[in-house]
Structure 1
Amino acid sequence: MGPEPLPDVDIGQMFMVGFDGPEIDDNVRVLIEKYKIGNILLSAKNLIDAKQASKLTAKLQEIAFHSGHRQPLTIAIDQENGMLNNLYDSEYITQFPGAMAIAAAASTDYAYSVAKATAQEMKACGINWILGPVLDVFTTSSNRLLGIRTMGDDPNEVADLGIAQIRGFQEGGVMACGKHFPGYGNAIIDNLLSLPVVNDTVEQLEMAPLVPFQKAGLAGLDSVIVGGCAVPKVAYNDMHACLSPRVIKGMLRERLGFQGVVLSECLEMGALHEKTGIRQGAVMAASAGCDIILVCSSNTLQRDAFTGMCDAFASGILHADVLASIARISHMKDKYLNWQDAMHPAGIALLQRLRLEHSLLSREVYEKSTTLVRNHTKLIPLSNSIPPDASILLLTPLVIPLISSVRNAESSKGLFIGEDVFLKLGQEFSKFHPGKIFHTTYTANGISNVHEKLLKKSQIVVIVTTDVTRNMYQIGFTKHITHICSYERKPVIIVAASSPYDYSLDRGIGTYLCSYEFTPEALECLARVIFGQLLPTGRIPGTEHRPSKVVPGPTNRWLVDTYDAKIHLNSLLELWTRCFPESEVTADFFEVLSDPNQKHFIVQNYSTNELYGFAGTWVSNKGRLGSLLMILVDPARRNMSIGTSLHLSAMRYLITDQHVKRVKLGSSIPLFFGGLPFLQFAQQERESVLAKWFSDLGWDTTTNERSMMILKNLEEWSPMRHVVQELKMVGVMFDICLSEMDDQISGLIAQQPPLMQDQLNMLYDAARERVDSRVIVAVEKDTKEIVGSIVLFTKHSSVAKFHPWINEFRSRFVAGLSSPIVNGSYQNLAGIFTLGLVYSALRHLKMQNFTSCILGRVDSTLENTFIGAGFTTWRRFTEIEMSAARWMTPDM
């Protein structure tokens, strides 16, 4: 028989119930007709497609109307998008990105637009209440409860995005419901109690978890779901937040000032109703401050809960609470609901009109969310880093399929359940890569013979993970595969297809992407990013991944060894490639480092012989000038004090052992870097980090700028007429230096500053071998005195070892110009003399069919002069230095 409802008091308005199946059964009909249950929860078990959903909701409202309900039913759904969609219809319902993917797109406009579009589609199907947005702050990356359902770890960012979604839902015509108060972001699962536990104090909660709820409440949030977690430091004696007056009335209502409708966690939650019983649980929830009590599916439990509430009201213990709750619910319904819309949803006709606009919005947000977290070795895009015929091994986990995969199961016959989830990704790979794609799954069983065979056949491996904190086997599998590939020098790409925190802090994984979900739409964008068809613009949400000040303190010290070219050359070449993957060099690039009179330093892994870092030094001019040629640190090992350890060893050698008085960063001879580089791949932010690093170590970073310049298409070059005229007027001829002029060249070098003479003698001695190199001279017409010179060379000359950058060019028709010098008596004409020397060299190269020429180490004052001559800036450096006295200061 069941309980009798109380006259004139719609206690049924305080319940939200669900039911089984896509049809309205007698049980739910009785709940609506007799008990005046005012709120219905729909889930995937009730919904087949948009057309059926519209008919189902209209029928529910029709039953309520004809049974005398004063207001329409609220019909609620969990439709968080991404991988949580209870209503799926590939033809009429748009697949939008989920919460964290939207946060990765970093736009409140996107959050608003997606929410409004979702609301419009739900309302068209007769659904008027979306149980969202998720306002939990993801404070613990190992949290297994919510993961990508949250919008990150920055409470203010979560609040801003959440408020945008709330506004979108409301303007789309549905009610919004923030969840899960007081926040599951820092919750842990207590295995003994079998429920989530939040161990934060009120003060800790106010610092982050409560911020989005408070701001959303002030912005007009309609309702809040209170979780079934325990909050022992707030309500010690209350097992569940949704049954706690301290949490709801004390914290949510009074402390935060929330005036909207409060929903309980489902009372069918095992730990909840087993501890209190369903009747007592309903009464406790209402007494604690819940306006609507959720009982998801069991009709028996739903009736029991209703009975408990009726008994409590009749006894007078809940009278005021019940009336206040019914008033709040009625006010919310009045704001959003009317019988005309409720019983006649717009349905398919409206969904068809919205389809194109919403599809374009979805695609745009998915494209903006895909995140390239790390790309240390510049593997991405693969279209630029691997040959077209390379074989790719794609390893994907066996996971529980999404609703969309289940509904489309007929398209993947012959596969195990879950194998078809990443089928789309393999198909997308095949679209963009002409080589072989080997695609197989992996499970908790580890590496199989199939995996080993495919590893041997492939040149690159892509491993997909899905929330490794829930699937710990994926960590072991990934480590095993990456270890094998590291030993074989085979590149690996890791893709997080759910939580970005899987490997966000593991810098040993040099190439790491995140798609935030494995919906087909996300996987398509992921493939496009991997193969260079789409530029990745997403970023991991929250504060952890924004630049922040480093806390000063002691650093680690690494064991630093001496570089030996016979042992370490190949490892150095590999390190350089990891640091500058766009720079294709051979072992010749490092030939000058074999000089037995110079010393260099390394940090290495003694087990694998892999170099983690390298520092090159150079001492010239009888020890008066030292150069720190470069410091290289493996991108995957940066911010680990390797560079600091190398810097210390190099400076100690130069200043303490070699007694140099001044150290320059970079060197003109040999020229790997002319100073602190203006980095092409990271622009100002990275440059400022480098400059600050050297400045903090005591370097003077306020000195001159230099550049290297390139003239391309030499076959089309011709000298500027006014320059030729000016050169004629100064009375100087330009020619190739003959052997009888060598003594004059030596005299010219002797006129240069003492600190330069060692380097110039070394370079000009190599050039005077006259094998693929020449010295161009400026000769005074009357006296036949050499008043200037410049070195011209190709990659096959002895000079090239002092200018290793020339080996970056594959063509043999690329030449270099270096070390122009002018007689001190003609300094007022140094600019025009240097330009004349360059013009003479270019004419010589053009006759030899060279196509390009690089001019090394151009002072910033002459840069515009050479731009006028046809050159463009290739690389730019800031010359920085440190004195021995500064380095030896105690505070250093």
Structure 2
Amino acid sequence: MHSRRTVLTTAAAAAAAACATGAAPAQAAGARIGRQPVSPANGAPAPATEARMRRLISRMTPEEKVGQLFVMRVYGHSATDPDPADVALNQKEIGVANAAELIAKYHVGGIIYFGWAHNTREPHQIADLSNGIQKAGAAQPLPVPLLISTDQEHGIVARVGAPATLFPGAMALGAAGSRDDARTAARIAGEELYAMGIRQDYAPDADVNVNAANPVIGVRSFGADPQAVARMVAAEVKGYQGAGIAACAKHFPGHGDTDTDSHIGLPYIHHTAEEWERLDAPPFKAAITAGIDSIMTAHIVVPAFDASEDPATLSRPILTGILRERLGYNGVVVTDSLGMEGVRVKYGDARAPVLALKAGVDQLLNPPDLSVAHAAVLKALQEGELSWPDIDAKLLRILLLKDRRGLFTNPFTTHEAVDRVVGIRRHLETADRIANRTTTLLRNEGGVLPLSRLRENKVLVVGVDAAPPSGTGGPPTTVLADTLGALGFTATALSTGLTPTQTLIDQAVAALRDRDAAVVATYNVTADSPQRQLITALLDTGKPVVQLAVRNPYDIAQLDGIKAALASYSWTDVELRAAARAIAGRQKPTGKLPVPVMRADVPGTVLYPIGHGLTY
């Protein structure tokens, strides 16, 4: 009689053994680490492959089947030996000590990496963690590789920091408008994630940001033009999946027109069916046409599609009726985090996973209490609320995705693979070249820019000190000053923060007196923001003042008297360096607004339209 363990392929078994002895697992398995041949999610799998996955499903216990539906967080830099503080957090939140125990107890199908969970310290550590997770999966009575994922959108959302290559985020790429740049950035990012053992990226963001007050999407979107966003989404899907990892378009059916953050509340989208078809649908249709492996749901209410006002994650009319049946998508559907308030507020932590599966979801991402969620799904199956044939169909989609991404033949990586790919000079130089095409010059009255026109070259850099994603550098004032200094300016940084006090404003004014110009990094300026007072005080000196919006490009609408204004769309180093080069005149700004900037004093009136952008 064959053991259930025989379902693990010979190559993966060899790799697991090599990992246990410290050898290079991919070499031991005779496999190549790098891009893998892929087939689109909507393409029919080979009959032999589907039959193999169905046999695997038939050997699973009920607990294993349910476990495969979950993608879970876990604290620690190691699969078996995390720091004591991480062990304590795991025991408190999950009831296990480490990733290996999580896999053994719950048979989870995937693990998601976060910086705050201490999963992503540096590339070699990430690779070792990934190998440890796959080794734990291979050691189970029924070995199944895990799908390791993360949110590496770039720009303001990046879980893996330097020395990995960091690219401009979505709205910055939208400002450049180049599908080739988007595809290249995604391909390189995918290759680096693959080398670290990560086989799924929860990117690209397919939301169309038509609401300037959107607190959760904003610059994570490629822009406000649905067709332009669709082109960029399709390009990134091809880039990521061409690099061998699963892409994930989010957040279906579209999170772009809301003024509520679904992390802390339940947003409503009041688009009609016709408006949704015109505004929200095109990027998701483009992703599906491009063969995307997975789509993430949104915790948003769309009354036009579901009168029950259930969030889309729990809505069968939206996930099955629209995504599956109308759009014809047959790949994997994953929830946004089940720990977010938008999905918890109406039904609670036990019902939400069950209702999500009934709605059409395949993977349940990061429930706040895994024991509660796992038990609830098992109970729903035992009582007949959920059916085993439906669960088997979900498992088949998940396992076929894992197979497409090479996890059944080559789930491991090596330090050598990391060193060949991650953060290499060619990738870093490509990121800088792409960033050079993103900076947008919104205003340049009187030829204030470039600052190379100054008689002297002493520049004061003031403004926000927003903390960038882990490992991406910063703060903005320092990065800008250092870059300007390297370009021949005498640049001094003075961080005044998001809410500068009068004392800091006075310090900035005093510092500007013996300098030739000021560069001010602004961040989401509102009508009552003290950042406005800082800029007014600097303008009153009579010295040239250059304003750089380091997140949303709408700041200029709140700033009277500014003659020179740019947008970098993020405060991460790669975009700030590009902005500094444009300010210095070493690189012409060529970015074009991918969203409109509306006037603050006359609502509904456009100040700068989509496509606006000056150059020198």
TM-score range, shorter chain: 0.7 to 0.9
Aligned to 1:53: 126
Flag the 1:484–1:274 CA change in 2: closer, same or farther, 3 A.
closer
Structure 1 residue 22: Cα displacement: 1.6
1: CA distance, partners of 2:263 / 2:580: 43
Alignment partner of 2:199 out of 94, 103, 128: 128
Q: 2:508 aligns with which of 440, 451, 457?
A: 451
Which residue, 355, 367, 381 being the options, matches 1:313?
A: 381
How far apart in 2 are the matches of 1:379 and 1:514? 16
Cα 1:193–1:501 change in 2 (3 A) is closer
Preserved CA contact (<8 Å) 1:214 1:258: no
Query: Deviations for 1:684-741, whole angstroms, at most 9, x for unmatched residues?
Result: xxxxxxxxxxxxxxxxxxxxxxxxxxxxxxxxxxxxxxxxxxxxxxxxxxxxxxxxxx
CA shift, 1:292, in A, is 0.6
**SS at structure 1 position matched to 2:244:** coil
Give the length in aligned residue pairs: 524
Provide the C-alpha distance between the structure 2 equivalents of 1:208 and 1:34, rounded to a whole number of angstroms: 44
How far apart are residue 504 of structure 1 and its match?
5.8
* Alignment-derived partner of residue 331 in structure 2: 260
| Alpha-carbon contact 2:335-2:363 (below 8 Å) kept | yes
- Supply the distance in 2 between the matched residues of 1:172 and 1:39 (Cα, whole angstroms): 20
Q: Aligned match of 1:337 in 406, 425, 428? A: 406
Rounded to whole Å, the distance in 2 between the matches of 1:233 and 1:432 is: 54
Counterpart pick for 1:233 among 285, 304, 310 = 304
Summarize deviations over 1:135-190 as a string: whole Å, max 9, x none: 00011122111121110111111111111110111110001110011111101228
Structure 1 residues 189-228: aligned runs within 5 Å: 189=260, 194-228=265-299
Q: How far apart, CA to CA, are the structure 2 residues paired with 1:249 and 1:334?
A: 24
Q: Is the 8 A contact 2:468 2:572 kept in 1?
A: no
Question: 2:233 corresponds to which letter in structure 1?
Answer: G
Equivalent residue, structure 1, for 2:111 = 40
Aligned: 1:388 with 2:456: yes
Q: Secondary structure at 2:404's aligned position in 1?
A: helix
Residues 819-857 of structure 1 show CA distances to partners (whole Å, capped at 9, x for unaligned) of xxxxxxxxxxxxxxxxxxxxxxxxxxxxxxxxxxxxxxx
The residue aligned with 2:553 is 500
Find the counterpart in structure 1 of residue 140 from structure 2. Answer: 67
Distance 1:351-1:371 versus aligned 2 partners, 3 A rule: farther
Contact 1:71-1:337 at 8 Å conserved across structures: no
Q: Which position in structure 2 is the counterpart of 1:531?
A: 584
- Structure with the higher strand share, 1 or 2: 1
C-alpha spacing 1:347/1:33, structure 2 compared with 1 (3 Å): same
Equivalent residue runs for 1:256-335 within 5 Å: 256-296=327-367, 298=368, 301-319=369-387, 320-335=389-404
Asked if 2 retains the 8 angstrom alpha-carbon contact of 1:422 and 1:518, the reply is no
TM-score (norm 2): 0.79
Give the one of 320, 324, 330 matched to 1:249.
320
Displacement after TM superposition at 1:117 (Å):
0.7
- Match of 1:351? 419
Q: Distance in 1 between matches of 2:258 and 2:446?
A: 37
1:776-795 equivalence runs, <5 A = none
Matched, 1:178 2:234: no
1:574-628 CA deviation, whole Å, 9 max, x = no partner?
A: xxxxxxxxxxxxxxxxxxxxxxxxxxxxxxxxxxxxxxxxxxxxxxxxxxxxxxx
Aligned to 2:24: none
Cα distance in 2 for partners of 1:522, 1:128 equals: 26
Residues 451 and 363 (structure 1), Cα distance of their counterparts in 2 relative to 1, 3 Å cut: closer
Is 1:113 matched with 2:166?
Answer: no
Match of 1:13 in 2: 68
2: CA distance between counterparts of 1:29 and 1:435? 53
For residues 608 and 215 of structure 2, what CA distance do their matches in structure 1 show? Answer: 30
Q: Please show how residues 554-633 of structure 1 align to structure 2 within 5 Å.
A: none
Q: CA deviation at 1:239?
A: 3.2
Alpha-carbon distance in structure 2 between the residues aligned to 1:481 and 1:506:
11
1:321-368, Cα deviation, whole Å (9 max, x unpaired): 3122112212222222234420x3144445335612212211110111
**Aligned CA distance change for structure 1 residues 421 and 304 (closer, same or farther; 3 Å):** same
Preserved contact between residue 36 and residue 69 of structure 1 (Cα < 8 Å): no
Using the alignment, how far apart are the partners of 2:531 and 2:169 within structure 1? 27
- Listed one character per residue, the Cα deviations across residues 652-705 of structure 1 (whole Å, up to 9, x for unaligned) are xxxxxxxxxxxxxxxxxxxxxxxxxxxxx999xxxxxxxxxxxxxxxxxxxxxx
**RMSD of aligned C-alpha atoms?**
3.0
1:365 pairs, out of 426, 434, 455, with 434
Distance apart, 1:68 and its partner CA: 3.7
**Pairing partner for 1:82 from 142, 155, 169:** 155
Deviation at 1:375, TM superposition (A): 1.4
Q: 2:469 aligns with which of 380, 391, 402?
A: 402
TM-superposed deviation, 1:234: 2.5
TM-score (norm 1): 0.55
When residues 190 and 38 of structure 1 are mapped into structure 2, their CA distance, relative to the original with a 3 A threshold, is closer
Q: In 2, Cα distance between the equivalents of 1:225 and 1:491?
A: 46
Q: Percent identity?
A: 29
1:461 maps to a residue whose letter is A
CA–CA separation in structure 1 for the residues paired with 2:594 and 2:608: 22
Q: For 1:383, give the aligned amino acid.
A: S
Greater C-alpha Rg? 1
Q: Kindly report which structure 2 residues correspond to 1:126-165, keeping only aligned pairs within 5 A, or say none.
A: 126-165=197-236
Pick closer, same or farther for the CA change 1:69–1:161 going to 2, 3 Å: farther
Give the unaligned 5+ runs of structure 2.
1-59, 81-95, 598-604
For 1:392, the aligned partner's letter is V
Code of the residue aligned with 1:318 in structure 2: it is L
**Which AA in structure 1 matches 2:150?**
I
Partner of 2:524: 467
- Report deviation, 1:434: 4.8
Provide the C-alpha distance between the structure 1 equivalents of 2:177 and 2:508, rounded to a whole number of angstroms. 38
The amino acid across from 1:13 in the alignment is Q
Q: 1:442 to 1:22 in 2, by over 3 A?
A: closer
Quote the Cα distance in structure 1 between the aligned partners of 2:263 and 2:69: 32
Amino acid at match of 1:404: G
Which of the pair has the greater relative contact order for Cα pairs under 8 Å at 6+ separation?
Answer: 2
Q: For the residues of structure 2 that align with 1:100 and 1:682, how far apart are their CA atoms?
A: 19
Are positions 1:477 and 2:531 aligned together? yes
Give the whole-Å Cα distance in 1 for the aligned partners of 2:481 and 2:326.
Answer: 52
Per-residue CA deviations over 1:791-846 (Å, capped at 9, x if unaligned) read: xxxxxxxxxxxxxxxxxxxxxxxxxxxxxxxxxxxxxxxxxxxxxxxxxxxxxxxx
Contact 2:477–2:493 (CA under 8 A) maintained in structure 1: no
Structure 2 counterparts to residues 749-828 of structure 1, below 5 A: none
- CA offset at residue 130 of structure 1? 0.7
Unaligned runs of 5+ in 1: 409-417, 546-555, 557-636, 640-680, 684-892
State the distance in 2 between where 1:441 and 1:485 align: 12
- Find the counterpart in structure 2 of residue 426 from structure 1: 481
Mapped to 2, the partners of 1:400 and 1:519 lie a distance apart of 9
Partner of 2:39: none
Assess if the C-alpha contact under 8 Å between 2:313 and 2:343 holds in 1: no
Partners of 2:109 and 2:260 lie apart in 1 by 33
* 8 A contact 1:388–1:435 mirrored in 2: no
Match of 2:74, SS?
A: coil
